[in-house]
Chain A
Amino acid sequence: MDVFADPDNRQLLLTGFAWILKLTGASAVISLLVGVLLAAMRVSPVPVLRWFGAGWVNVFRNTPLTLVIYFCYFGLFSTLGLDLADDLDLNTYWLGVIGLSTYTAAFVCEAIRSGINTVPTGQAEAARAIGLTFLQTLWLVVLPQAGRAVVAPLGSVLIALTKNATIVGTIGLAEAANAMKTLINNNGDEVITIFLVFAGVFVALLVPTGYLFNWLSNRLAARR
């Protein structure tokens, strides 16, 4: 463990995971909001909105995240001049958040849409029968019930998002994967220790998250 006796190397590890957590946090919030909105569009009575939702999902679910992130940096920033922060790292961070959120929103949308399908049709029919509009039916009756079924899939999306945050390293942010690469290149004799520490942090973060979401999902599951 000599590598991590050096405070500089410890700092590299900490900043790496700090970026991962910040990327995950911001992207999780934004992609959840956008994803719910997209899911609402996909089940709405207005065809234009359904097409837009379906188009978003098809485009971003089938494009590799690496390309999306690449496009955010070289397209939005370098070519179109979208400058989000004066600080170089902060700018890269926000470009990464845009890429991750756009991509993840497509998966959130599909998870929520399949959750909506688990709500018995009688619920929506009853809601319509008492005169609720589409938005009221969705917001007051269907979505709250779909929420229970959606916990486990959204948990998987969150775990995938955390792992995907490493891809923002492509555009130069010193997140965990890049930090590991730097450490490996400087300490060729302790490769295994370095990998196990970095991988271990991910395992320690994500395996409990997985169990937590499974537990939550079982607790919230509706008996039908």
Chain B
Amino acid sequence: MSSVLYDHPGPRARVRNSALTVVFGVALAGLFWWLYREFDNAGQWAPALWKPFLDADTWNNFILPGLWGTLSAAATGMVLALAFGIIFAVARLSERRWIGIPAGAIIEFCRAVPLLLMIFFLFYGLPFLIDGPVSAYWAVVIGLTLYNGSVLAEAFRSGIRSLPAGQSEAAYAIGLNKAQVMRHILVPQAARAMLPVIISQLVVLLKDTALGYIIAYPELIQLGVNVLSANYVNVMAAAIVIAAIYIVINSTLTGLAHWLDRRLMRTGQPSVTGKVATEPAGD
């Protein structure tokens, strides 16, 4: 409720606010001017550095293939992570302790280990164990699946647990067995209620494909920044253009999550997202 923090401005507050607007506006303009000058001193506004982005070849040879690499890894990762999440959420909720406890341990382990460590293990370590190379693509996709799948499993689990007990009681009463109750009654409702959380996690997954750059997987940063700037010597320009592409894609998805959140609230879904943390933590 940001608007209740200050009064509706009267004449004096309006003058003060306009004065502050001017002061901070000038300060910000100064900051941007300084940045502009720093770039200028380093010769970063030279047209030769930016011109490649008007050239179709730049897009066809570097940016679009990179975007494809990012999106294809993200898409496979999303499908696998969702499957992993549902399976492990159900497993962790299982009444059989020999299923529930190991599932919980795997989830906690995958959530606590940095994704990069996992990817390094898959890419550099696994080849020693299986006596054959592991492609960068699968190292990234499996890493993304294990990590984001575990986070999604926790989201599904809290979704399932937040459903009214009457749902499963009624389902048992009409004679469904445990698996049917899970599959037909609980998981669909939990998935719908947790949809905004799930989508924000998928944005995290898309962003995390960038880690593929570190093991030379040809994704957006590898091709669009690293290889592209090796050709045109324009690291800054390339990084800025690629960042803009990421920002457009991710804020579209985030916008979708917020829109769904509002829509679900309006249609009177049990608002689970109010009860569990929905703000992404930045991993």
A residues within 8 Å of B by Cβ?
A: 42-49, 52, 58-59, 61-67, 70-71, 74-75, 78-81, 103-104, 106-107, 110-111, 114, 116-117, 119, 121, 124-125, 128, 133-134, 137-138, 142, 152-153, 156-157, 159-164, 166-167, 169-170, 176-177, 180-181, 184-185, 188-189, 191-192, 194-195, 198-199, 202-203, 206-207, 210
Given contacts A64-B209, A189-B128, A207-B112, 9 further A-B contacts (CB under 8 A): A45-B6, A45-B17, A52-B24, A62-B247, A106-B282, A164-B283, A188-B128, A203-B112, A203-B113
Select the stretch in B76-84, B117-125, B164-172, B257-265 that faces chain A.
B117-125
B28 adjacent to A52 (CB under 8 Å): yes
A189 and B209 alpha carbons, distance in the complex (Å):
29
A46 adjacent to B254 (CB under 8 Å): no
Interface centre among B114, B124, B280, by most chain A C-beta atoms within 10 angstroms, is B114
Closest beta carbon of chain A to B243's beta carbon, Å: 5
A106 and B120 alpha carbons, distance in the complex (Å):
27
A59 and B120 alpha carbons, distance in the complex (Å):
28
B191 within 8 A of A: no
B277 adjacent to A67 (CB under 8 Å): no
B42 within 8 A of A: yes
Interface centre among A64, A81, A111, A157, by most chain B C-beta atoms within 10 angstroms, is A64
Complex interface: chain A residues within 8 A of B113 (CB): 163, 199, 202-203
A134 and B20 alpha carbons, distance in the complex (Å):
13
B55 within 8 A of A: no
Give the tally of cross-chain contacts (CB within 8 A).
Answer: 202
B210 adjacent to A65 (CB under 8 Å): yes
A and B contact pairs by CB, cutoff 8 A, 30 listed: A45-B5, A45-B13, A52-B28, A59-B247, A62-B249, A63-B243, A63-B247, A64-B210, A66-B221, A67-B239, A70-B239, A75-B239, A79-B42, A79-B236, A110-B279, A124-B5, A134-B5, A137-B6, A153-B277, A160-B282, A161-B282, A162-B114, A164-B283, A167-B214, A181-B124, A184-B128, A191-B121, A191-B128, A202-B114, A207-B112
A160 adjacent to B128 (CB under 8 Å): no
A103-B282, A137-B5 are known contacts. Are A177 and B239 too (CB-CB below 8 A)?
A: no
Number of interface residues of B (CB under 8 A): 62
Least CB separation from A204: chain B residue: B112
Complex interface: chain A residues within 8 A of B221 (CB): 64, 66-67, 70
A15 and B168 alpha carbons, distance in the complex (Å):
52
A125 and B203 alpha carbons, distance in the complex (Å):
37
Complex interface: chain A residues within 8 A of B210 (CB): 64-67
